[in-house]
Structure formats: C-alpha cells, structure tokens
Amino acid sequence: MATPAARLFSKLDGLFAVYKPQGVHWKHVRDTVETNLLKVLNSCPAAPQRSVVHFQLLPSGDCSGSNQLTVTKSNLPALSDHPLVTGPRFYKIRVGVGHRLDAFSSGVLVLGLGNGNTALESLYRLHVTREYTLEGEFGIATDDFTHTGRVIERSTSDHVTTDKLERVLAMIQGANQKALIMYSQVDLSTQEAYELAVKGLLRPQDKSPPILTGLRCLHFKPPRFTLEVQCVNETQRFLRKLVHEVGLELRTNAVCTKVRRTRDGPFKMEDALTHHHWSADDIIPAIANFRHTTRKIRKNDIYRQAVKPSNSTTQTPGQSETSLLESVNQDKAESLQSPSAEHLLTPSNSNVL
C-alpha cells in the first residue's frame, strides 16, 4: 500500500507556471519551489515501523530442560527505521526551468516536475512564441540598455511622435517577417505555406536568431513608451537592445525600464502562481489544469519530428542576435523613400537595425 508521501509525490508530475518578480534570480525561484515541496513531502506520516523478534534462552530454574530456546516477539520498533537514523525520506526533487528570465526581467516562468522535464524539452523544440511588455524612456543611453546602467549619452526627444514611432516599428517587423519565412523552411508556392501564413503559424524549424513575430506600441506619453512584442528564440538582452535601437532610428536614445513576459506559449499571466502560492496545495491543481496541454505538447513534438522537412535553408542558422536588426537597412532603401521618412535615418545609425 502506497504511503501518503508516495501518493503526493506521484501527483507532482507535469508543467505549471509561476510569476517571477523583478530583481529575483530564476535559480532562487526554482530552489524556493523545491524547498517548499520537500517540506510537505517529509512532513507526511511515515509508514509503521517494523517490529523486532528476539530469541531468548530461558533461565535454568524455569524449566527442567537445561538448553531450551523460547522465541518471543517484541513490540519495540526497529531502530534502523527510526527517522533520526534514516533522515529525510525526500532530499531532492528535480525542478526543471523553461525559457529563463534574468534578474532584471519579470513575468511568466514555466517549471516542470517529474516527466514534465521532458515536456519542457518538447516545448523548447516547438519554438512557441512568447509575449513581452517592454517599457522604455527616450533621451538616455546606458552601457547595458537599462535605466540602472551607466549613462553614456543624453539627447533630446521632443521631435518623436506616435506616427514616427509606429513607422519604425513597422519597418522592424517587416524585416523580421522576411526572416521568419526564410527559417520556417516551407515552400512558399504550396497551399500549406499559404494556410500557415494566414493563420500566423509560421515557426522556425531549426535553430535561428531571435525573430519578432509581432511588434506594436501600446502607450506613448513622451518621453515614456510601452511596446508589446511577440517573438521566438529571444533573450531579454536582445529585447532591451531592441528598445535602444528604436531610439537610434528616431534620432535619439532610449533605455529599457522594464521587461515583463506575459505569455510563454500556452502559459499566460493569469495561469502563473505568485510567490505566496508556491506550495503543493496550489502547484498540484495547476499541474492538473495543464495536464491536457502537456500531453498536447508532447504529441506536437513527436509529429514535428516525424514530418520534419529534409531540406535545409541556404543561410546558416547560427546568425547573431543583431543580424536580423541589421537586415532592416536593406528595407530602408525599398520602403522609406518619402521625404517625411528620410529624416528618421542618419548615416551614423542607418546600419544598426
């Protein structure tokens, strides 16, 4: 018969999402979840300790026989099963971490327990899109693209308008859309490619540099602005540098003040557990809610590997993070020929994006 601890441990198998606060390292989140789960598992009632059987020789005066043995069963527990001897029953739980967030960033962080660690690998190979909210401020440039870095330049930003900002964002998104089509490894002349493009389901098939699948401005009140970004294979440094490059294209500077992930594939912000809910009582229901999603992730990964196209792209996938931003320079000569747009580009920064 399974013990309460064993039954509880069997339920800790799957994927769930937590909310990582800003200023906290992802390792601290993982270790905190593991510690909370170990406390609950080791506090469960243990199995009854075994009884000890003693073999005793009767005293010579109690029986006429001189060498008789009597088998007696003692009710004392075996000391080898005592908790002070065996120690904690559970001392390690493998908590896997999905696409990580650095200390500066916050938002949805996917974790895996048990077989959920293999599902995390499947989620990574599917190249799911992730959604971020970026907050920035014009007029400042720092060495690490954040507002807490060392200031290296200041500039004016009174000339920046909403129309100019949206025009630059559209230019960047257009260049990334071309890269997405290239790395998706689909024949553009087929019906399949058309249906995937209409539904917005084009994804890179292999390793690729960071690609933006969506980019728009949510709020602009000079000098502060907020962007919504959908992307694949990104890093948080790439996103902060994106804010910096947007400022350069607008003939000013910009720093990133906040990076928050609002969605990681099927895991949304409303599904993430806050710090006060990183306990077994809340994690087990969260795993159960995403059990169907976890199975679907595994099936999609198996199907993708089975039908993976054999042809490879002509461009090497090991391209740097900034290469796609640099490709915007080619689009400028094609799409930004009007006098109203030419003043956004200067020789000093025309090859940055």
Which residues are known to be catalytic? 102
- How far lies 214's CA from each of 130, 147, 352, in Å? 10, 24, 20
Tell me the DSSP string of 165-207.
Answer: HHHHHHHHHHHHHHHHHHHTT--TTSHHHHHHHHHT----SS-
- Give SS3 for 222: coil
- Give SS3 for 110: strand
- How far lies 223's CA from each of 103, 143, 151, 220, in Å? 25, 19, 16, 8
> Could you tell me whether strands 130-138 and 140-142 are parallel, antiparallel, or unpaired per DSSP bridges?
unpaired
- Give SS3 for 91: coil
Spatial separation of the C-alpha atoms in residues 164 and 336, rounded to whole Å:
12
